[in-house]
Amino acid sequence: RKSKLPSVTESIFTTMSALSNKHGAVNLSQGFPNFPVDPALKELIIKAIHDDKNQYAPMAGLMSLRAAISKMTQQQHRAFYHPENEICLTAGATQGIFTAIQAVIHSGDEVIIFTPAYDCYAPAIELAGGKVVEISMKLPEFTIDWQEVKDKLTSVTKMIMINSPHNPSGDMLTHEDMTKLQDIVVENNLLLLSDEVYEHIAFDGREHLSAARYEGLWERSLITGSFGKTFHVTGWKMGYCLAPKHLMEEFYKVHQYVVYCVNHPVQDAIANYLSKPERYTELGIFYQKKRDLFLNLIKDSRFKFKPAHGSYFQLLDYSKITDENDVDFARRLTIEHKIASIPISVFMNGKDPNMLRFCFAKKEEEIIKAAKILNSL
C-alpha cells in the first residue's frame, strides 16, 4: 500500500536522544529542560487532580485558562483575543500547528515555509493535500529574502509559515521583516501561521515581535504557543492557538474531532500558575544566563558561533574541526565523545552548513560538562 508520507522517517529528536541514552552522553540534542519544575506548579496540578478536575474540559479549553492567555497576550503582545471565541487549548503546539493547517489548507494550496524548518510543518501540509514551497534562509545570518518570497508566490499560494524566535538558529524576525511580511500577506490576501513557541525567550533586551502586534497580520494569522516551553513541562503537552473569530471558527471544527478537548488538570494548574506574570516575563533572563554560561565556557574552543538571540538553542559551526557531514559528526560526537546534538541538515533538505544545534535548557552542571567536552575537540 502506498504511504501517505513516503519521505518521513523517524524524527531526528527520537534518533539522537536514543543514541545519547545508549551511549551515556550529555544530551543537548532534543529540546527539553532537564531541571526540576517549579514546586508551586507541581502543587497546582496535584490539587487539580485532588479536586476532581478529571473529566473532559470544555472543547476549546477551560474558560479560566483562555482568560489568562488573553491577559498574557495583551500584556506581552499588545493584542486582544477574545477568550470566548478566539483562543483554543491544544495538545502542545504540535497539535495546534496540525489543526491550523487542516482547518485552512485545501487540496492543491501552496504553503511557503522557510528552511531550516521545524520538522512537523511539511508533513502536516502534505496530509492536508497542500504543496510545500520551501525557501532557504540566507546563511550565516538565517535571514529571509522577502523579494524571493514575492517571486515564489503563485495564484494558489494560500499561506506563509514563520517561526520566531527560530528553532534551530535562535534568530528572531525584526520589525522590518514583520512589516515586509505584512505587506506581502495583505497585498496577496494570504494567511499566516506564526509558530511562536519561544515567545518569552528573547535575549539582550530584544523584544519578540508577535504577528499579533501587526494589524494586517492579526486578522489573517493563526498563532501557536506552548506551555511546555514556557513552564519547563514539555511532557505535559499543553499549547494554544490564537486567531480572529473567523479563522478560529474553522480551527474549532477540526479540533473538535481531532481531540475534542485537552488535559483538564493540566489546564487548571496552568490557569492558576499564570496569575504571576513574572513567571513568563523573566524567562528570557533565566535562559540568557544559561546561554552566556555555555558560550563563555566555549569561547576559546574551535567552534565558531553567533550568540542566539532567542529560543534555547545555540548553533555551533564546526568547520575548523572536521569536514565530516553534520549527521556523521553528530553521531560520532555522541558515541565517541559522549555529547549529543542535532544535525541541522535534516531540517534543510540535506543542505549542510556544517553546524550542530545544542540545547542549553539544561542544569548548570550539565552545561559545564558539555563545554568541557567541546573544548577538547
| Binding footprint of ligand GLN on the chain (CB under 6 A) | 11, 13, 30-31, 167
Residue 310 contacts which entry, ligand PMP, ligand GLN, none (Cβ below 5-8 A, type-dependent): none
**Residue 343 contact among ligand GLN, ligand PMP, none, beta carbon within 5 to 8 Å by kind:** none
310 binds ligand PMP (CB under 6 A): no
Hey, what's the cell of 297?
A: 565556557
Mapping DSSP to helix (H, G, I), strand (E, B) and coil, where does residue 310 land?
Answer: strand
- Based on CB atoms, which residue is closest to ligand PMP, 239 or 265? 239
CA dist list (Å): 72 to 66, 131, 274: 10, 34, 8
* CA–CA separation, 62 and 49 (whole Å): 15
Least separation, in Å, of the C-beta of 304 and ligand PMP? 23
By a kind-dependent CB cut-off of 5 to 8 A, residue 30 interacts, out of ligand GLN, ligand PMP, none, with ligand GLN
Q: Do the bridges between strand 87-90 and strand 239-242 make them parallel or antiparallel, or are there none, so unpaired? A: antiparallel
Omega before 165 cis (within 30°)? Answer: yes
- Residue 72's CB is within 10 A of a number of other CB atoms, namely 20
**Which residue minimizes CB distance to ligand PMP?**
92
Cell 471558527 belongs to: 249
DSSP-based three-state secondary structure for 48: helix
| C-alpha cell of residue 115 | 528552511
Contact status: 114 vs ligand PMP (CB under 6 A):
no
If binding is defined by CB under 6 A, does position 15 make contact with ligand PMP? Answer: no
Scan residues 16-55 and list those touching ligand PMP (CB under 6 A): 31
Q: Which does 226 bind (CB under 5 to 8 A by kind): ligand PMP, ligand GLN, none?
A: ligand PMP
Give the span between the Cα atoms of 97 and 83, in whole angstroms.
Answer: 19
| Cis amide linkage into residue 6, ω under 30° from 0 | no
* Site stretch for ligand PMP (CB under 6 A), options 37-45, 90-98, 124-132, 259-267: 90-98
Among 70, 73, 94, 341, binds ligand PMP (CB under 6 A): 94
* Secondary structure (DSSP) of 201-262: -B-TT-----GGGSHHHHTTEEEEEEHHHHTT-GGG--EEEE--HHHHHHHHHHHHHHTSS-
Distance CA 363, CA 59 (A): 37
Min CB(313)–ligand PMP separation in Å: 8
Q: Shortest Cβ distance from residue 66 to ligand PMP (Å)?
A: 17
Q: Which of 234, 256, 322, 375 binds ligand PMP (CB under 6 A)?
A: 234
The residues in 163-182 that bind ligand PMP, with binding defined as CB under 6 A, are 163, 167
| 355 phi, psi to nearest 5 deg | -135, 145
**Are the C-beta atoms of residues 204 and 247 closer than 8 Å to each other?**
no
* Among 76, 164, 226, 314, interactor with ligand PMP by CB under 6 A: 226
Please report whether residue 93 would count as binding ligand PMP according to CB under 6 A: yes
SS3 category, 353: coil
CA-to-CA distance for 160 and 189, rounded, in angstroms? 11
Minimum distance, C-beta of residue 13 to ligand GLN, in the bound complex (Å): 3
Q: Which is nearer to ligand GLN, 32 or 303 (CB)?
A: 32
Q: Which does 115 bind (CB under 5 to 8 A by kind): ligand PMP, ligand GLN, none?
A: none
- Give the closest residue to 210 by CA, choosing from 61, 40, 12, 72: 72
Q: Smaller CB distance to ligand GLN: residue 90 or 167?
A: 167
Q: CB of residue 167 vs ligand PMP: minimum separation in angstroms?
A: 4
Q: Should residue 92 be labelled a site residue for ligand PMP when binding is judged by CB under 6 A? A: yes
Residues that bind ligand PMP (CB under 6 A): 31, 92-94, 118, 163, 167, 195, 197, 226, 228, 234, 239
